[in-house]
Chains A and B, each alone.
Chain A
Amino acid sequence: AQRVTQPEKLLSVFKGAPVELKCNYSYSGSPELFWYVQYSRQRLQLLLRHISRESIKGFTADLNKGETSFHLKKPFAQEEDSAMYYCAPHNDYKLSFGAGTTVTVRA
């Protein structure tokens, strides 16, 4: 069965500390992978996609096909990074979402 797992429901880090959000997927074929973010009182929005290999707001994500993982990382967390983050494989023109990780960055 196709599945995406985000093992951490909550993640609390201090400002300036590194943050890593884990995502593991179990999908047939080679799905595209995305990270979506929902800031407080804002809409869900795309953060980054693996195919573009970009760094957005200091975040990067490496697709590891061997481990079927797509972890999101930022070396120095900022308070404005506090949000809910969703890992989302894309297949057949639709996205499936993980359960999400709530990140709190403390001053």
Chain B
Amino acid sequence: DAEITQSPRHKITETGRQVTLACHQTWNHNNMFWYRQDLGHGLRLIHYSYGVQDTNKGEVSDGYSVSRSNTEDLPLTLESAASSQTSVYFCASSELAGTNTGELFFGEGSRLTVL
């Protein structure tokens, strides 16, 4: 069955370290997204991609970067982790076009703690 997986599911790191969260999907979707979930803020879009070599900034992109070298993967990198980046991170994917583009398929989330 097609799915979307994130790793690691839990990570504790220190301020200033570089962290990469992996996202891998087997839906063959062109669209991929990274969100962070925080109490009181809901889900906020960090970065997104509409296809290989395409990346775009979302509403809270500062301190984060992504790269899209193939269809299946969109790793999220925190260049220098800050305590404000302690959050639960969700990866999602969707179809490129058509009537179902609004349906996102989500990973299980990665809980990151920055000490």
Contact = CB atoms under 8 A, between A and B. Distances in A.
A96 B44 CA distance: 7
Contacts of B58: 94
Contact of B31 (A32, A34, A93): A93
B90 A90 contact: no
Interface stretch (B17-25, B65-73, B77-85, B96-104): B96-104
Given A34-B102, A43-B106, A43-B107, A94 B33 contact: yes
A44 B31 contact: no
A94 B42 contact: no
A93 B101 contact: yes
Interface in B9-67: 31, 33, 35, 40-45, 48, 50, 58-59
A105 B94 CA distance: 31
B114 to A, nearest CB: 22
A95 interface: yes
A9 B40 contact: yes
B106 to A, nearest CB: 4
A88 B99 CA distance: 16
Interface of B: 31, 33, 35, 40-45, 48, 50, 58-59, 90, 92, 94, 96-97, 99, 101-104, 106-109
30 contacts: A6-B42, A32-B102, A34-B103, A36-B104, A43-B106, A43-B107, A43-B109, A44-B92, A44-B104, A45-B106, A46-B103, A49-B102, A49-B103, A86-B43, A90-B101, A90-B102, A93-B50, A93-B96, A93-B101, A94-B33, A94-B48, A95-B102, A95-B104, A97-B42, A97-B44, A98-B42, A99-B40, A99-B41, A100-B42, A100-B43
Given A46-B103, A49-B103, A90-B101, 17 more contacts: A9-B40, A34-B103, A46-B102, A51-B99, A90-B102, A93-B31, A93-B101, A94-B31, A94-B45, A94-B48, A95-B102, A96-B59, A97-B35, A98-B42, A99-B40, A99-B42, A100-B42
